Amino acid sequence: MLDKLEVKPGTKARIAERDPASTLGFVKQDGDKRLERLVERLDALQYRLYAEDRRSVLLVLQGLDASGKDGVIRRVFEGVNPMGVSVTSFKAPVGVELQHDYLWRVHAALPRRGTIGVFNRSHYEDVVAVRMLDIAPEPVWRARYGHIREFERMLVDEGTTVLKVFLNVSREEQRARFQARIDDPTKRWKFRHDDLKVRERFDAWVEAWDEALTETSTDWAPWYVVPADRNWLKALAVAELLVDALARLDPKFPEPEHGLEGLLV
């Protein structure tokens, strides 16, 4: 599955050519069962990572509005000990954040050793959103591709595994989710009139993200484009990615203190 989703370093992401409604060969019933097993496995691996306390994992979740980032986080981490997971949601920088470089607040939010960190939006907004909303001129945001590549290389060199996921939602599914937010009084707060302005430029936003993924998918921190029209499938794919990464890390329990074997208290 993961090989199909990866943006191979040095190749174009081609987001528009990927099917947002793909099931990747799964049916929902089997996918749900597999997801349950993956969440259990994730909990066990995260516990070992926490005990080892040497390395960390960063999951970057990006996508167009209504791609379902919040839902993925809830579903994938619902059975994982919250002591070992942190979630950071990045919005437009304010106050002291504006007095520093654009990576300052990102660096401060990175997961501690032994933990999994989740970025709900990330430093990539400082390329794509800045570009699309004309917040900075092209020489500024284009230079950030190189900054980010080297920033992530440093993180990996220092012991953080970086997993980057773009949730690929279709124009039709995005419209349906926007309408559902408007129709549901408990979700209406999520909708802003500016969402419609973004939606009018759907293709342009996809193109901007396509360039960002193409420029920053590296051997040390590749991107994965996950079909996002089906909630169960995107959760399954993200869980698969996390479990695969943690299994490759194969964290170990620390050696216990000498003389504990057979001790009665």
pLDDT for 2 equals 87
Q: CA-to-CA distance for 170 and 86, rounded, in angstroms?
A: 29
Is it the case that residue 5 has pLDDT exceeding 90?
yes
Q: For the segment 157-169, what is each residue's pLDDT rounded down to a tens digit? A: 999 999 999 999 9
Q: Is residue 75 part of a domain?
A: yes
Q: Is residue 254 part of a domain?
A: no
Q: For the segment 202-253, what is each residue's pLDDT rounded down to a tens digit? A: 999 999 999 999 999 999 999 999 999 999 999 999 999 999 999 999 999 9
Q: What is the mean pLDDT of the chain?
A: 95
Split into its structural domains, the chain has a count of 1
Q: Map tokens 């370093």 to a residue.
A: 9
pLDDT for 251 equals 98
Q: Is residue 256 part of a domain?
A: no
pLDDT for 249 equals 98
195 pLDDT band, cuts 50/70/90, is: confident
Q: Is residue 260 part of a domain?
A: no
Is it the case that residue 193 has pLDDT exceeding 90?
no
Instruction: Provide the residue type at 154 as one letter.
Output: M
Residue 55, exposed/middle/buried by CB under 10 A (0-12, 13-18, 19+)?
A: middle
Count CA within 13 A, CB hemisphere, residue 222.
Answer: 18
Q: CA-to-CA distance for 84 and 61, rounded, in angstroms?
A: 18
Q: Which residue has the higher pLDDT, 223 or 187?
A: 223
Strand partners, 69: none
pLDDT for 107 equals 96
Strand partners, 59: 118, 163
The answer to whether the beta carbons of residues 202 and 114 sit under 8 Å apart is: no
User: Which range marks the domain in which residue 157 is found?
Assistant: 2-249
> The CATH number of the domain where 245 resides is what?
3.40.50.300
Q: Is residue 211 part of a domain?
A: yes
Q: Is residue 258 part of a domain?
A: no
Give me the percent of the chain exceeding a pLDDT of 90. Answer: 89
Q: Is residue 228 part of a domain?
A: yes
The answer to whether the beta carbons of residues 177 and 67 sit under 8 Å apart is: no
Task: Check the CA dihedral 125-131-134-139 and report its sign.
Answer: positive
Q: CA-to-CA distance for 87 and 91, rounded, in angstroms?
A: 13
Q: Is residue 265 part of a domain?
A: no
State mean pLDDT over 104-119. 97
Q: For the segment 16-73, what is each residue's pLDDT rounded down to a tens digit? A: 999 999 999 999 999 999 999 999 999 999 999 999 999 999 999 999 999 999 999 9
Is it the case that residue 190 has pLDDT exceeding 90?
no
pLDDT for 264 equals 87
